[in-house]
Amino acid sequence: MLLRDRHTPWSMRIGNGGKVKSIRASIAALSFLFLFPAAGGTQSKPEKIRIGYAARAVAHSVPYVAREAGFFAEEGIEAEIVRTAGSIAPMALVANEVHLAIMSAYLMIPVSTQNRDVAMLGGFSRYASMVFVARPDIKGAQDLKGKIVGIQRPGDAYEKSARFALRHLGLDADKDVKMLALGTNDVMWSALQTGRVSATVLSPPGTLFARKAGMNLMVDLTDLKLEYQGSTIATRRSLVQSHPKLVTGALRAIVRGVHLFKTRKEDTIRILATFLGTKDREALEESWEYAAKMPAKPYAVESAVQAVLNHLAEGDPKFARFRPRDFIEAGPLSEIDKSGYIDKLYAGR
């Protein structure tokens, strides 16, 4: 069963507290409880929408921030925000358990090739954005030779990020290091702390905790401007067709959430504290600085999606047959943009 998020502390915090319990979703008949009202009945206002997010990470926080700021309510929408852990996210979308979902393009695309109803309305990041972090005894690239690098799963976006960083350092990921799959962010951080691995990839606020622990932040992939579509706003094309006003309203609220990040730091940090489950001001500052770089107009970028397709094709040649436009449904966001809505937001700051 897909559970409501209780905002337990963020999974990357130092110490024994803060471990986020995995949400195990069974895609079952209960999903019908969350579908839209039947056509023959009287619809109540506001309209309801369920939005899932795949990870308790700042890049996935925008819908939550938008809801807490009241932007969905102003669109006449009652938004429920739920966590759909990891690979469950696209399955929940396919099964109608959620109507929108924030997930990586790497997770979304394979499901979309099997179910063409799944598409991305937009995206929050077009560049690889993790940080390659090593233990204090690793001073330079040569110290990594023969060492173990922690990732989540073989072939995933974490491994790709590690490979980007290793290549930047002049190392061959297949010859100079060994990749160790650890499964989750909290295990990756724990393995780095204990020395089980010599390096891994993190994102804020994990980078702050790593810095405080004396780790060596070797490569910030954001600085390299390597295109790779990260977090996306995914939905079903059938929902866009059957409930266009709802989708457009939800997107407007999300666009305003991005605007809040970029223009109202303190309000955003206050909301992030609940989402991330931490009161650590430095961690919240670092998270905000990371997310405030999101584009004002959160389009999915074809060249960045192509980079993900190229990555997936390394493991399965079938992905080479597809093109970015096969997965992007930009119509609703484009409509909002052409109306001048986003430009007016930023004109008033």
279 and 165 in a common domain: no
Angle, vertex CA 3, rays to CA 205 and CA 308, nearest 5: 55
Instruction: Give pLDDT tens digits for 252-267.
Output: 999 999 999 999 999 9
Share of the chain above pLDDT 70, in %: 86
> Greater confidence, 292 or 66?
66
157 and 85 in a common domain: no
152 and 294 in a common domain: no
3-class DSSP state for residue 199? strand
Residues 6+ apart with CB under 8 A from 15: none
Range of the domain at 243: 29-125+229-347
Decide if 173 is inside a domain. Answer: yes
Residue 327 belongs to a domain with what CATH number? 3.40.190.10
Whether pLDDT at 94 is above 80: yes
Round to whole Å and give the CA distance between 47 and 247: 11
243 pLDDT tier (thresholds 50, 70, 90):
very high
Q: 210 — phi, psi (to 5°)?
A: -65, -45
Element (H, E) at 234: strand 231-236
Angle, vertex CA 101, rays to CA 46 and CA 60, nearest 5: 105
Element (H, E) at 143: none
- pLDDT of amino acid 3: 37
Domain count, the chain: 2
290 pLDDT tier (thresholds 50, 70, 90):
confident
Q: 127 — phi, psi (to 5°)?
A: -120, 150
CA 116 from chain centre, in angstroms, equals 21
119 and 147 in a common domain: no
| Residue 148: strand pairing partners | 178
306 and 252 in a common domain: yes
141 pLDDT tier (thresholds 50, 70, 90):
very high
136 and 121 in a common domain: no
15-24, 56-65, 163-172, 313-322: segment of lowest average pLDDT: 15-24
Instruction: Give pLDDT tens digits for 54-82.
Output: 888 888 999 999 999 999 999 999 999 99
- pLDDT of amino acid 9: 32
Decide if 9 is inside a domain. Answer: no
Decide if 61 is inside a domain. Answer: yes
6 pLDDT tier (thresholds 50, 70, 90):
very low
235 and 165 in a common domain: no
Token duo for residue 214: 């004396």
pLDDT (average), residues 228-252: 97
Round to whole Å and give the CA distance between 88 and 93: 9
120 and 91 in a common domain: yes
The verdict on pTM exceeding 0.85 is no
106 and 43 in a common domain: yes
